[in-house]
Chains A and B, each alone.
Chain A
Amino acid sequence: MNSHPTSKFDRQERLTIWDQSLIEKSSVIIIGIGGTGGEVAKNLALLGVGKLILVDMDTIEYSNLNRQLLFSKTDIGKNKAKVAKKVIKSRYNSSLEIEAYNEPIQSLPFKIFEDSDIIAGCVDNFLARQYINETAVELPLSLIDSATDGYFGQVQSVNPSNNACLACDSPPPPEETRVLSAPCTLVGTPRTRDHCAWKALYEFHTLNDREPDENSSDDIQKLTDLANKLAAKHQFPIFDNKDIIQSVLYRVPSLITVNAVTSGIQSQEIIKTLFFNKMKDLKKKDQNRMKSLVQTYRFRVPDLTIYSALTGNISSFELFRDPDCMVCGDTSIFQQTPVTININPNSKCRTIFTVLKRKFKKNYIGFRGNFIIPNEALVKNVLQDGDRLTASSLTDDEEKRVIIRFKTKKG
């Protein structure tokens, strides 16, 4: 019988091209702690990653429990990131450094991304994906993004400037993303009946600071009433509760098996990307081995991997960068040097735009993702030192990226 191994990671440490200490020094930010993200968090904790940052503003629902193994019945209604933090720490890896955030990613301090080695995108909507992608390209930081839909799962690796980002050659996003990501559409006149439903959803978010619960008849009624107010005003046919569920509360079908395979692929690509990005920190012997495997294409991080549970097929594809991409293309604002504004955190946000106006002779409005920066709010209540925002000119379509730096008392 073998003697008891001294390390919990003994079996993986026996692998060639493996450096446990490198993994232990790594920090991964996981955005979305649902069916895939929860599994990725568990996998990375058990692989011995040193620091995990978990982000999810969602709460645990009864229908999550068949596939989100970090949660139990007693957790229903609690925040996913916070519960996951507690469970992972106590059940899987007590020495793991772990942070949990239950806020929209657009409100996260930018520094969190800057301090991470890699982003794991496990979100369930295009809007959040868009923001994560832009952040990854801007920093630049490797992004391993996953998505599932019923029997299909996919993992896309973004290595900014080297391969395609999530926006490269992408067709126009679905209707809800266009509506929600175009603030002028949100505040303007709805042009279709569906716009009324999406604007109602946005209003629901604003009023209640949470997602509507599709199992709550109260929430659905509130949403229907909000949508009908707009529909009546703009002379569109009114909605019934069933219409609203179909229009805006549609839930993507999910299977635990597909989540498990997809998150397994994603976790493995994260580890490979960490090794690849930190190749120079590997032991000399492993470095040489890895180099020769890379040269002969026996070590690679596929740009896109697709798994079908219906056929059992896993296929991988190369995706090339689009030089005209709105996000990673040569003329994108995320590729330009941002404007730095030093500001007193106790001043109002409008000061940012006054400074910009003085500098560029234009009126600007500010966004973080699709969130509008409120002019009258205090800077310290909305932004943190090092945060970035997009300033959009009201006179033309020109946009700039702005870094906010807090002035210290010394100046």
Chain B
Amino acid sequence: MNNRKKDVVWDSNISSQGSTSDGIERMIKVRFKDPQLPPDQNIREKYININGTVFQAITAARDAFNIPEVVPIALLFKGRRMNPSNNLVSYNIEENALLMIVPDQIKGG
């Protein structure tokens, strides 16, 4: 039944990642996972600047899955919700890290 081709997007466009906190760009490949998509389409790989902020990683995740700005999203890494204003280095992200995309700012009762 599942004949969809695995859709892995490679993107090494450094300039799309925004500026860095200390001016040094060190790109690593990470995997963004959007669990809302079918299992064979829900992981996309992308290069991000490890010296950048989580916000920049969120932008890269939006880019990878074409998630519009109006949809609030957050990233989870190893069971921790990543704070957009923190630097990525503070999370010890390594090559091939899996960053989970979850909806953010859900508050209604």
Contact = CB atoms under 8 A, between A and B. Distances in A.
A34 interface: yes
A129 B107 contact: yes
A311 B36 contact: yes
Interface in B74-100: 74, 76, 78-85, 100
B107 A171 contact: no
Given A171-B83, A308-B36, A148 B108 contact: yes
Given A317-B76, A322-B80, A152 B103 contact: yes
B72 to A, nearest CB: 9
Nearest to B83: A171
Interface stretch (A117-125, A231-239, A383-391): A117-125
Given A170-B81, A306-B102, A320-B78, A149 B107 contact: yes
Nearest to B109: A124
B106 interface: yes
A68 B103 CA distance: 25
B106 A32 contact: no
B79 A149 contact: no
Given A306-B102, A308-B36, A315-B35, A34 B81 contact: no
A306 B76 CA distance: 13
A319 B76 contact: yes
B66 interface: no
B87 to A, nearest CB: 14
Max chain A Cβ within 10 angstroms of own Cβ: one of B84, B103, B106, B107: B107
Contacts of A148: 106, 108-109
A315 B101 CA distance: 11
A302 to B, nearest CB: 11
A389 to B, nearest CB: 25
A153 B106 contact: yes
Contact of A147 (B35, B79, B82, B106): B106
Contacts of A313: 35-36
Contacts, number: 83
B3 interface: no
Contacts of B103: 149, 152, 154, 306, 308
A266 to B, nearest CB: 11
B79 A318 contact: yes
A50 interface: no
B105 interface: yes
B74 to A, nearest CB: 7
Interface residues of B, number: 22
A365 to B, nearest CB: 28
B50 to A, nearest CB: 19
Contacts of B83: 169-171
A70 to B, nearest CB: 14
A172 B54 CA distance: 14
Interface string A299-334: 000011010101101010111101000000000000
Given A147-B106, A252-B108, A171 B85 contact: yes
A217 B14 CA distance: 52
Contact of A36 (B80, B85, B109): B109
A303 B79 contact: yes
Interface string A105-127: 00000000000000000111110
Given A171-B83, A171-B84, A320-B79, A149 B105 contact: yes
A411 to B, nearest CB: 44
Given A169-B81, A304-B102, A319-B76, A34 B109 contact: yes
B79 A254 contact: no
A190 interface: no
A403 B78 CA distance: 37
Nearest to B74: A171
A148 to B, nearest CB: 5
Interface in B42-95: 74, 76, 78-85
Nearest to A311: B36
Interface string A170-197: 1110100000000000000000000000
Interface of B: 35-37, 74, 76, 78-85, 100, 102-109
Interface of A: 32, 34-37, 122-126, 129, 146-149, 152-154, 164, 168-172, 174, 252-254, 303-304, 306, 308, 310-311, 313, 315, 317-320, 322
Q: Ordered nearest first, which 9 A-B pairs have the shortest CB separation?
A: A252-B108, A124-B109, A315-B35, A320-B79, A169-B81, A147-B106, A32-B109, A318-B79, A149-B106
